[in-house]
Chain A
Amino acid sequence: MAEPLLEVKNLSVHFPTEDGVVKAVDGVSLSISPGETLGVVGESGAGKSVTFLTVLGLINRKTARVDGEVLFRGQDLLKLPSDELQHVRGSKISMIFQDPMTSLHPYYKVGYQISEAIRAHQKISKKEAFSQSVEMLRRVGISKPQERAAQYPHEFSGGMRQRAMIAMALSLNPDVLIADEPTTALDVTVQAQILDLIDRLKEEFDAAVVIVTHDLGVVAEHCDDIMVMYAGRSVEYGERRDIYYEAHHPYTWGLLRSIARMDQDRHERLEPIQGLPPSLIFVPPGCPFHPRCPYVMDVCKTDVPQLLPSNGHHASACHLTLGEKERIFHEKVLVRG
């Protein structure tokens, strides 16, 4: 395997508040190599977005306590002074934000917003930057890019706005592209288009891609590795097949079972994960998932399970024995024909 491009080691992001310390991210590690796609899956409030906002240095360090390392080509981004980080952010690592409706500025033309990003990193004329943004719009599949670049975001449909966001993120040929819920606000047809586009551009730019989502269906077709996050921790990490066909964590099972699936005549009821995600101020002692876990044991209430590898790349943080995990998964979760 190639040298990892981006490595996060034991990252913790804690926000001290009046009510207590919010442990948004608690000891998360991951690594991505060029040409790879990592899927990060978890419910709202699992710390997915905070993890990657921290990677980009978009977390206010005055209000947050950040521990751990974020290594980009071996360089720790957390220790970089802000002007040097500015150089990395956007040009080497860039991000597509969740909501294309709110992350484009309504007062500026789309072409201008893309060229602004280019001009922040390259010393070129406005005219040149504008023609580069037109070229980017063309590459992300927007028809009549010349006309479209001179339009305002409200004249774009949701899918086109997301394409414009992708054009902006890729305009500087980044090594790492982080897509935070890139398709959550979009129709299924547009979602398929956007995910295919990200895939194609990944090949074209030889970038590493992170797709953050709450829907395991979305990443099934597009990710190499998957990390499942719960309450600020990574509870399972593995290759795509490990997660879908040999998942080892009860939370991953819950996610897999609660999806309404179209490819099966499943007329029985959906099985939601009971209860709600915990408050990140009062994370339950022991395994954070234990209050919602149907297989809870006494040890789960006291001891925090470590993320331990079972075979090679595949790791899960759960006290169940490997044999039990395999048995339960095959009896209760796997639903192949």
Chain B
Amino acid sequence: MSVTVEERRGRAPDTRGAPLIRVEALKKYFPITRGILIQRKVGQVHAVDGVDLEVYPGETVGLVGETGCGKSTLARVIMRLHDATEGRIYFDGQDITRLRGSKLREIRREMQMIFQDPFASLNPRKTVGSIISEPFRLHKTAPRGQIKNKVRELMELVGLNPEHYNRFPHEFSGGQRQRIGVARSLALRPRLIVCDEPVSALDVSIQAQILNLLEDLQSEFNLTYLFIAHDLSVVRHVSDRVAVMYLGRVVEMAAGDTLYRNPKHPYTGALLSAVPIPDPDLAAKKKRIILEGDVPSPIDPPSGCRFHPRCPRAQFPMCKELDPALEPFHEGQVAACHFPLEDRAGIAVTLPADRLAGDQCSISSSSSSTSPRPCSWSSSSCSTPGRAGGCRTCSGAGPACPAARPSRSAWTRSPW
């Protein structure tokens, strides 16, 4: 599946080399305090609660989840805008978790951020020119005389008219303002750009322009994106791999196509089913899973699997007591669920049956074009061997997996 993604981009993201960003068991808790003079700590918000994530050079990792699931906090901790409570962050192999002063400043050149709200993230009292040239002045990477030319180049690069150098942000439309934000983030030629909901505030027709711009810049400068969004259709369009977050944890992570076809976590399935499809016939037939209620408070997250109070598949007492670990499913897919969805559940929730015929073709053609692959999970790394005919990587082509894990078969699966 990933082949098509690579073809589209005309280059292969290097997923075998060293990751550009590696995050290990990252936690960020915000204290809740009471009292005026003596601040007593009365609790903490578990904004990010044990996340492992790797982002490889040149790829786009999408980060999705509802409001308050910790995706923005995770990005800010990686950017070192917040200090991690626990865990480690590596940038290009270097531990940056506790960097300070000039060393931190050096690293910050390598990673930049595009913010959600193009109306709030640009200083209304500064001209576009001075907004975009600020990184040059702060980091002194260009001699003073050249700054203006560099800014004009950047403006041209992102599709702004360089003659608008002296205009103020309010003279631009939302899409153009977001282009200013993109130009500013590119000024120091960073390797990683964290895009925090870069198109959520824009009209659909303008969204497409910005998404195309980001894609062009990625191939031109070999950028790596961490792309945060709650819109799953946008994320599918831009991402090589997608991580789904829920209440401070990554509950599922997979290559884009795998995730959208074969979601394993019921939360992913529910998110997919909620995305509107601009096609009334398909939309009417689509199976919908409406999640009741809101995300629980991250101050006191539920025990066991954090999704169990809202999960349509939850079985008690297992889901309430046992916290599921991330387990591998398809190639490169991990999910944390005791009762994962069957294969192709994503299609069932997003597409009705009459679409499945054509859909199967694309699966079989891609698998028949490649020679039979051996099982990519060596017997030691495969913690769920022989998942009853489910694992496409293993079934048929690869060596037969040993018997299924007994603990899992002890629990009957609920009908979806």
Q: A residues within 8 Å of B by Cβ?
A: 43-44, 143, 157-160, 187-193, 196, 214-218, 220-221, 240-241, 244-245, 254-256, 258-263, 265-273, 276-277, 336-337
| Cα–Cα distance between A255 and B204 once the two chains are bound (Å) | 7
Q: How far is the CB of B252 from chain A (nearest CB, A)?
A: 15
Q: Could you tell me if B232 and A262 are in contact, using CB atoms closer than 8 angstroms?
A: yes
Q: Could you tell me if B8 and A268 are in contact, using CB atoms closer than 8 angstroms?
A: yes
Q: Could you tell me if B274 and A189 are in contact, using CB atoms closer than 8 angstroms?
A: yes
| Cα–Cα distance between A220 and B7 once the two chains are bound (Å) | 32
Q: Which of B204, B260, B274 contacts A214 (CB 8 A)?
A: B204
Q: Which of B174, B257, B278, B291 contacts A44 (CB 8 A)?
A: B174
| Cα–Cα distance between A215 and B294 once the two chains are bound (Å) | 24
Of B175, B271, B277, the most chain A CB neighbours within 10 A belong to B277
| Cα–Cα distance between A245 and B351 once the two chains are bound (Å) | 17
In the assembled complex, which residues on chain A have CB atoms less than 8 Å from the CB atom of B278?
216-217, 220, 244, 256, 259, 261
In the assembled complex, which residues on chain B have CB atoms less than 8 Å from the CB atom of A244?
278-280
Q: Could you tell me if B282 and A272 are in contact, using CB atoms closer than 8 angstroms?
A: no
Q: How many interface residues does chain B have, given as a range?
A: 35 or more
Given A258-B204, A265-B4, A217:B294 Cβ within 8 A: no
| Cα–Cα distance between A196 and B232 once the two chains are bound (Å) | 19
Q: A188-B230, A193-B291, A217-B233 are in contact. List 12 more A-B contacts (CB 8 A).
A: A44-B203, A192-B276, A215-B276, A216-B278, A220-B283, A244-B278, A258-B204, A260-B231, A265-B4, A265-B362, A267-B7, A272-B208
Q: Could you tell me if A259 and B233 are in contact, using CB atoms closer than 8 angstroms?
A: yes
Q: How far is the CB of A183 from chain B (nearest CB, A)?
A: 9
Q: Could you tell me if B290 and A196 are in contact, using CB atoms closer than 8 angstroms?
A: yes
Q: Could you tell me if A267 and B204 are in contact, using CB atoms closer than 8 angstroms?
A: no
Within 8 A of A (CB), among B256-275: 257, 260, 270-275
Q: Which of B4, B207, B280 contacts A221 (CB 8 A)?
A: B280
In the assembled complex, which residues on chain B have CB atoms less than 8 Å from the CB atom of A215?
204, 276
Q: Which of A160, A254, A255 contacts B294 (CB 8 A)?
A: A160
Q: Could you tell me if B293 and A143 are in contact, using CB atoms closer than 8 angstroms?
A: yes
Q: Could you tell me if B276 and A267 are in contact, using CB atoms closer than 8 angstroms?
A: no
Q: Could you tell me if A188 and B271 are in contact, using CB atoms closer than 8 angstroms?
A: yes
Q: Which 7 A-B pairs have the closest CB atoms?
A: A272-B208, A217-B276, A270-B208, A267-B8, A262-B233, A258-B208, A260-B237
B32 on interface, CB distance cutoff 8 Å:
no
| Cα–Cα distance between A273 and B202 once the two chains are bound (Å) | 13
Q: Could you tell me if A157 and B215 are in contact, using CB atoms closer than 8 angstroms?
A: no
Q: Which of A43, A188, A220 contacts B274 (CB 8 A)?
A: A188
In the assembled complex, which residues on chain A have CB atoms less than 8 Å from the CB atom of B273?
192
Determine the main DSSP class of B at the interface with A: helix
Q: How far is the CB of B365 from chain A (nearest CB, A)?
A: 12
Q: Which of B207, B236, B280 contacts A258 (CB 8 A)?
A: B207
Q: Which residue of B lies closest to A240 (CB)?
A: B280
Q: Could you tell me if B208 and A261 are in contact, using CB atoms closer than 8 angstroms?
A: no
Q: Could you tell me if B274 and A192 are in contact, using CB atoms closer than 8 angstroms?
A: yes
Q: Mark B329-351, 1 if CB is under 8 A from A, else 0.
A: 00000000000000000000011
In the assembled complex, which residues on chain A have CB atoms less than 8 Å from the CB atom of B231?
188, 260
Given A214-B203, A267-B7, A270-B208, A220:B290 Cβ within 8 A: no
Q: Mark B300-329, 1 if CB is under 8 A from A, else 0.
A: 000000000000000000000000000000
Q: Could you tell me if A263 and B280 are in contact, using CB atoms closer than 8 angstroms?
A: no
Within 8 A of A (CB), among B116-173: 173
Q: Mark B226-261, 1 if CB is under 8 A from A, else 0.
A: 000011111011000000000000000000010010
In the assembled complex, which residues on chain B have CB atoms less than 8 Å from the CB atom of A187?
66-67, 230
| Cα–Cα distance between A190 and B292 once the two chains are bound (Å) | 9
Q: How far is the CB of B332 from chain A (nearest CB, A)?
A: 17
Q: How far is the CB of A24 from chain B (nearest CB, A)?
A: 16
Q: Could you tell me if B272 and A262 are in contact, using CB atoms closer than 8 angstroms?
A: yes
B205 on interface, CB distance cutoff 8 Å:
yes
B211 on interface, CB distance cutoff 8 Å:
yes
Q: How far is the CB of B247 from chain A (nearest CB, A)?
A: 14
Q: Could you tell me if A262 and B211 are in contact, using CB atoms closer than 8 angstroms?
A: no
Of B68, B237, B257, the most chain A CB neighbours within 10 A belong to B237
